[in-house]
Amino acid sequence: MNTTKWGEQMADRTVVLVVDDEIKLCRNIAYKLKKEGFSALEAHQGKTAIDIVKRTKVDVVILDFMLTDITGLEVLRQIKQISPETVVYMLTAHGNIENAVAAMKLGAEDFFNKPIELQVLTEVVKRLSLNPVQSGKEDLIWQSKKMRQVLQWLEPVTETDASVLLLGESGVGKTAMAKWIHRRSERAAGPFIAINCAAIPENLLESELFGVQKGAFTGALESRAGKFEAAHEGTIFLDEIGEISLPMQAKLLHVIEEKKLMRLGSHIEKNVDIRILSATNKPLRKLVQEGKFRNDLYYRLNVVEIEIPPLRERKEDIPFLLEQQVQRLNQKYKKTLSFSPEAVQVLCEYAWPGNIREFLNVTERTHILKRAGSIEPAELAFDETIKKEMTQKSSTYPNINLKEALDNVEGQLIEKALQESGGNQTKAADLLGISRNALIYKMKKMRKA
């Protein structure tokens, strides 16, 4: 049963498919998501879920491991074949680490243990809708000197097991950086488990991180593993680490130092072999001075510290981020849109206080609202307050040399296309969407400039 008919889905709403053979639970999750403003679909069998993904665009799937017709892992595998960009979260009542690791390798974004607070799920989907996840093969996109320096400095660190603390404003790409480090480490074949510490209520965080023993509290009907066990022989990424309480900091420190953990309600220690990456947009050193963050934990997490620069300080990256985003969106929405040079320039000049997260949000919203052709500056889907501020700024500085700025962006795109095509002008022209003669003409102008 669908809580929203397929033909009535709004293009700018995140579509979430809930797949669970526990009909009451499935409906409760869907109802909660609908109340939060999402478009919610339901499926009580795996084959029904696969059919829905074939017939409509689904952004997020919340998928139970155990279904009556086929396994959740098989559903996950087929969903990723049909729609690689659909984000899948797994639910399990069995705390089976092998299944969780297998799901992550098949492309699941994360897994959650049942029973789970509905608010936790909705917060996860909310954060995802504000910070779209790219396809599993994505990498960091960069061209700027600042990012080159960051990555060159981090390169030798990736080969070690050193804990890395990633700093930076909200939305700069700390999760993408953590994945970049993991993929280049000796643990790349192992799981990468990410958890947003701010998204999990304090009373549930311990069991999510370390697992729970049957009978530990009312409702703990069976033992289940946590994120640390799932990350065994891989990497765990603790996002928003500055949000955890002092008692939880003490427990986390013990696990890091001893490489052992105890599930909530258990007295048996388990060995864990993990690398820890963490991130925050809070001033941890100031929190240490104020007694709000443990000094010893800070230094355990901060063997290597790196700050990711905000997007406004690396604007050279914007055309290349846009190129990847347009390719992704054209594939996702079955369109062939492009951004005009003037629109690209506006995007490059904007300060992006929300960083890459805001950039992805604005460009996707713009793409959704445009049916065909080239996107012009007036069609960029900033909110009205931002548009007003940009208009005022434009009138305040009437002597900006727009042609010079556009030529600079155009030159960067031409150089990138020539690099990707190995110098083949015909292929480079195809990548740019112009004729070979037009490319040759523009290259001659660049040489004369």
User: What is the extent of the structural domain holding 384?
Assistant: 312-448
Q: Assess whether 183 and 120 both reside in one domain.
A: no
Which of the four pLDDT bands, split at 50, 70 and 90, describes residue 415? confident
Residue 398's pLDDT is 47
Residue 122's pLDDT is 85
Q: Assess whether 58 and 198 both reside in one domain.
A: no
The stretch 272-287 carries a mean pLDDT of: 95
Strand partners, 194: 237
Residue 394's pLDDT is 55
CA distances from 2 to 8, 42, 52, 377 (A): 11, 5, 10, 38
pLDDT digits (tens, 9 = 90+) for 121-144: 888 887 776 555 544 444 577 788
Among 83, 277, 99, which Cα is nearest to 179's?
Answer: 277
The stretch 225-238 carries a mean pLDDT of: 92
Among 164, 89, 155, 95, which Cα is nearest to 128's?
Answer: 89
End residue of a domain, out of 309, 334, 350: 309
* Average pLDDT score over the chain: 85
Residues 394 and 342: their CA atoms lie apart, in Å, by 14
End residue of a domain, out of 309, 334, 369: 309
Q: In CATH, what number is assigned to the domain containing residue 278?
A: 3.40.50.300
Residue 12's pLDDT is 53
Q: Assess whether 362 and 272 both reside in one domain.
A: no
pLDDT digits (tens, 9 = 90+) for 75-106: 999 999 888 888 999 988 765 667 777 887 78
Residue 136's pLDDT is 41
Q: Assess whether 163 and 293 both reside in one domain.
A: yes
Least confident of 216-225, 318-327, 364-373: 216-225
Which of the four pLDDT bands, split at 50, 70 and 90, describes residue 311? very high
Quote the tokens at residue 165.
Answer: 């603390």
The stretch 343-367 carries a mean pLDDT of: 92
Q: Assess whether 218 and 149 both reside in one domain.
A: yes
End residue of a domain, out of 280, 309, 338: 309
Q: Assess whether 425 and 329 both reside in one domain.
A: yes
Cβ 36 vs Cβ 79: under 8 Å: no
pLDDT digits (tens, 9 = 90+) for 178-188: 999 999 999 98
Q: Assess whether 149 and 285 both reside in one domain.
A: yes
Q: Assess whether 285 and 378 both reside in one domain.
A: no
CB count, 10 Å around CB of 12? 11
The fraction of the chain above a pLDDT of 70, given in percent, is 88
Q: With a cut of 70, say whether residue 393 has pLDDT above it.
A: no
pLDDT digits (tens, 9 = 90+) for 11-60: 357 899 999 999 999 999 999 999 888 999 999 999 999 999 998 889 89
Q: With a cut of 80, say whether residue 219 has pLDDT above it.
A: no
Cβ 262 vs Cβ 213: under 8 Å: no
Residue 95's pLDDT is 58
The stretch 261-278 carries a mean pLDDT of: 93
Q: Assess whether 82 and 160 both reside in one domain.
A: no
Which of the four pLDDT bands, split at 50, 70 and 90, describes residue 414? confident
Cβ 367 vs Cβ 333: under 8 Å: yes
Query: pLDDT higher for 345 or 115?
Result: 345
Query: Strand 260-262 and strand 269-271: pairing?
Result: antiparallel
The stretch 384-396 carries a mean pLDDT of: 62
Cβ 92 vs Cβ 3: under 8 Å: no
CA angle 195/198/200 to nearest 5° reads: 70
CA angle 301/104/132 to nearest 5° reads: 75
Residue 10's pLDDT is 36
Residues 297 and 244: their CA atoms lie apart, in Å, by 12
Q: With a cut of 80, say whether residue 210 has pLDDT above it.
A: yes
Among 281, 264, 263, which Cα is nearest to 272's?
Answer: 263
What is the greatest pairwise CA distance in the chain?
A: 77
Residue 28's pLDDT is 93
Residues 220 and 116: their CA atoms lie apart, in Å, by 11
Q: In CATH, what number is assigned to the domain containing residue 402?
A: 1.10.8.60
Residue 174's pLDDT is 94
Q: Assess whether 179 and 246 both reside in one domain.
A: yes
Residues 381 and 368: their CA atoms lie apart, in Å, by 10
Query: pLDDT higher for 115 or 336?
Result: 336
1 belongs to a structural domain: no
Q: How many CA atoms are closer than 13 Å to the CA of 281, on its beta-carbon side?
A: 14
Q: What is the pTM of this model?
A: 0.67
Q: Assess whether 289 and 343 both reside in one domain.
A: no
For helices 341-349 and 318-333, the axis angle rounded to 10 degrees is: 120
Q: With a cut of 70, say whether residue 348 has pLDDT above it.
A: yes
Residue 231's pLDDT is 92
Least confident of 71-80, 295-304, 415-424: 415-424
Residues 400 and 183: their CA atoms lie apart, in Å, by 42
139 belongs to a structural domain: no
Count up the domains in the chain and report the number.
3
Q: In CATH, what number is assigned to the domain containing residue 58?
A: 3.40.50.2300
137 belongs to a structural domain: no
134 belongs to a structural domain: no
90 belongs to a structural domain: yes
Burial category of 263 from C-beta neighbours within 10 Å (exposed 0-12, middle 13-18, buried 19 and up): buried
Residue 132's pLDDT is 54
Q: Assess whether 254 and 331 both reside in one domain.
A: no
Query: Strand 374-375 and strand 87-92: pairing?
Result: unpaired
Q: With a cut of 80, say whether residue 359 has pLDDT above it.
A: yes
Residue 185's pLDDT is 93
CB count, 10 Å around CB of 128? 18
31 belongs to a structural domain: yes
The stretch 413-427 carries a mean pLDDT of: 84
Q: Is the alpha carbon torsion for 310, 315, 317, 321 positive or negative?
A: positive
